[in-house]
Amino acid sequence: MGIDPGLTRCGLSVVQAGRGRAVLPISVGVARTPVDAPLTHRLLDLSQGVSEWMDEYQPDVVAIERVFERGNVSTVMNTAHAVGVLILAAAERGIDVHQYTPSEVKKSISGNGRADKKQMTTMITRILGLSEPPRPADAADALALAVCHCWRAPMIARHRQAEELLKTQQRSH
């Protein structure tokens, strides 16, 4: 499951990893909260929205964008509140969470860590063989996060195995 976190619009996607770099899109959408609602209500709405997705699709793993400072502190804080709720929803279900920076996702999907929204949407549409680009951009970003993780998961698994082997060898000496 890929999640592009946001308090107003939160992109949600579910994909299935195939052989090699093949990834099949399962579902994509956006959870929205009203801008004029109190923060507590918005976070509750977001929690319920992502929980419904997780309960329906039962993902094995969640890939979410890592929050970074964008200049506007209130925007960053709201996004950080949203990320906390989203990670908690995964944790309550025992789902592993992996965080990726925007530049990591852009580099993985387009080969360019500075790709713009249009390039990213074009690439994710092509990679997943979609008949039309996902809208809004938050939905495309959620798909990009999911694909990024699918492509990185084998390397992450090998890295974990190597760490475990090293720990085992250190204990035996």
Q: Are 90 and 97 in contact (CB under 8 A)?
A: yes
Does the annotation list 60 as a binding residue?
Answer: no
Does the annotation list 56 as a binding residue?
Answer: no
Residue whose pair of structure tokens reads 């793993």 in the numeric block: 61
% helix, strand, coil for the chain, step of 5: 55, 20, 25
Under DSSP, is residue 113 helix (H, G, I), strand (E, B) or coil? coil
Whether the bond between 134 and the residue before it is cis, its omega within 30 degrees of 0, is no
**Among 92, 103, 91, 80, residue whose Cα is nearest residue 6:** 80
Q: Which residues are catalytic?
A: 4, 65, 138
User: H-type helices in 20-72, by residue range?
Assistant: 39-57
Phi, psi of 155 (to 5 degrees): -65, -40
Does the annotation list 116 as a binding residue?
Answer: no
- Known binding-site residue numbers: 4, 65, 138
- Known binding-site residue numbers for Mg(2+): 4, 65, 138
